[in-house]
Amino acid sequence: MNRYFSTGAVAVGAACIAVSCSRGPVPDAYGNFEAVEVVVSADCNGKLLEFNVDEGYKLHRGEIVGWVDTAQLVLQRNQLRAEIAVLRAQLPETEKQLDVVREQLAKTEHELARFRALAEADASTAQQVDNLAYDADVLRKQLSAEESNLDIQTRTLLARMEPLRQQILQVQDRIDNAYVVNPVAGTVLAKYAEQHELAAVGKPLYKVANLDTLILRAYIGEPQLASVRLGQQVRVKVDSTYAGNAEFTGRIGWIADKAEFTPKVIQTRDERANLVYALKIYVANPGSLKIGMPAEVYF
C-alpha cells in the first residue's frame, strides 16, 4: 500500500511539473477586450424612408445610411417663405413716393428764385415771394416727415421678417438633420430600428464601433505600478480557444490614477478584496480579436 502511494505521488508530482513547464511564464495581468462604441440616434422625427444598415456592415465616416421623411417640414418652410413674401410686398417704394414731393419742392424753389429776381427789378411783389418761400418751407417739412414715415414702415416690416427667417433656418436645420450620417468609421454591432418605422429625436438607430484597434482593459496590483508606463509596448496573448494561441503587441495608453476593487468578473473572494489599478492597452486587430475576449498581458 505504501509502495503504491509512493509511486502514485511521484507520478502526480511529475505530471504537475510537466504541466507547470508547459504553461510557461505567469502573465502579469489579465483583462478583456472592449471597443469605443457609438450609439447613433435620430436627429429628426418622422418615418424612416431609407435605412441601409445591418449588423456586421462596415461603414465609412460621413456615410449617409438613411433619411427620415421631411414632407411636413418642407411644407412648414414653404409657408414661412410665403409669409415673408407677403411682408416684402408691403415694403414702401420709398424713392418713388419721395420723388413726387421732391419734384414739387424743386419746382417751388425754382419759382421762388425767379420771383425774387423779379422783385429786385420791381416786377413782383413781396407778398408773392413770401408765399412761395412759405410753400417751399412746407414742402421741405413734408419731405422730411415722409422720409421718416417711410423709414419707420420699412424697418417695422423688416423686423417682422427677421423672426420668420430664423424659423426658416430652424426648419432647414431639421430638414438637413433628417439624413442619418454615420459619425465614425467602424462595424455595426447592433441594429435597433428598421426601415419604415417611426424615428424620434434621440431614439437609438444602431451601434457602431471601430474594431481595427481594440482596447484591452486589464488590472494590476500596486506593486506592479513601477513596471508600467504610458506608451510602453507589451505582449498580449489570447487563449488558443479563441485565436489559435496568438500573440500580439499592445501599447499602454492609459493608467488609472486611483485604485479600485477588483472587478466582479474575478469570482474569488480574495481577489475581489484586492485593490487594483486599471490599464487600457491598445492592440491592433487583424480580425481575430473580438469584444469581450479574455487576454493575458506580459510586461
With cut-offs at 50, 70 and 90, classify the pLDDT of residue 226: confident
In terms of domains, do 222 and 168 share one? no
258 assigned to some structural domain? yes
Quote the CA–CA distance of 170 and 111 in Å, as a whole number: 58
Question: Which of these, 152, 154, 192, 199, lies nearest to 174 by C-alpha position?
Answer: 199
In terms of domains, do 234 and 264 share one? yes
In terms of domains, do 92 and 164 share one? yes
28 assigned to some structural domain? yes
**Residues 29-74: pLDDT tens digits?**
888 999 999 999 998 889 999 999 999 999 999 999 999 999 999 9
- For the chain, the average pLDDT equals 82
In terms of domains, do 57 and 202 share one? yes
Question: Which of these, 46, 58, 68, lies nearest to 182 by C-alpha position?
Answer: 58
Q: Return the pLDDT at 112.
A: 76
In terms of domains, do 86 and 28 share one? no
Q: Return the pLDDT at 187.
A: 94
Task: State yes or no: pLDDT of 262 exceeds 80.
Answer: no
Quote the CA–CA distance of 224 and 162 in Å, as a whole number: 65
Q: Return the pLDDT at 299.
A: 87
Q: Return the pLDDT at 97.
A: 75
Q: Return the pLDDT at 93.
A: 78
In terms of domains, do 101 and 168 share one? yes
**Helix and strand counts by DSSP (H, E) for the chain:** 6, 15
Q: Return the pLDDT at 108.
A: 81
In terms of domains, do 83 and 132 share one? yes
11 assigned to some structural domain? no
Q: Bridge-partner residues for 131, per DSSP?
A: none
Residue of 167 and 2 predicted with greater confidence: 167
Mean pLDDT for 79-101 is: 86
Query: How many structural domains compose the chain?
Result: 3
State which residues form the domain around 105. Answer: 71-176
Match 415771394 to its residue by C-alpha cell. Answer: 129
9 assigned to some structural domain? no
196 assigned to some structural domain? yes
Quote the CA–CA distance of 118 and 97 in Å, as a whole number: 33
* Cβ-based neighbour number of residue 168 at 10 Å: 18
In terms of domains, do 238 and 157 share one? no
12 assigned to some structural domain? no
Quote the CA–CA distance of 14 and 31 in Å, as a whole number: 31
Task: State yes or no: pLDDT of 23 exceeds 60.
Answer: no
In terms of domains, do 89 and 145 share one? yes
**Residues 189-213: pLDDT tens digits?**
999 999 999 999 889 999 999 999 9
Mean pLDDT for 139-151 is: 82
**Structure-block grid coordinates of residue 278:** 486599471
Quote the CA–CA distance of 262 and 274 in Å, as a whole number: 6
Task: State yes or no: pLDDT of 256 exceeds 80.
Answer: yes
In terms of domains, do 204 and 223 share one? no
Quote the CA–CA distance of 84 and 87 in Å, as a whole number: 5
Among 153, 176, 199, which residue terminates a domain? Answer: 176
pTM: 0.65
**Structure-block grid coordinates of residue 76:** 412648414
CATH value at residue 205: 2.40.50.100
Which segment of 60-64, 132-136, 168-172, 260-264 scores lowest on mean pLDDT? 260-264
Quote the CA–CA distance of 119 and 128 in Å, as a whole number: 9
Q: Return the pLDDT at 245.
A: 60
**Residues 230-245: pLDDT tens digits?**
999 999 998 755 545 6
With cut-offs at 50, 70 and 90, classify the pLDDT of residue 133: confident
200 assigned to some structural domain? yes
Task: State yes or no: pLDDT of 283 exceeds 90.
Answer: yes
In terms of domains, do 184 and 246 share one? no
138 assigned to some structural domain? yes
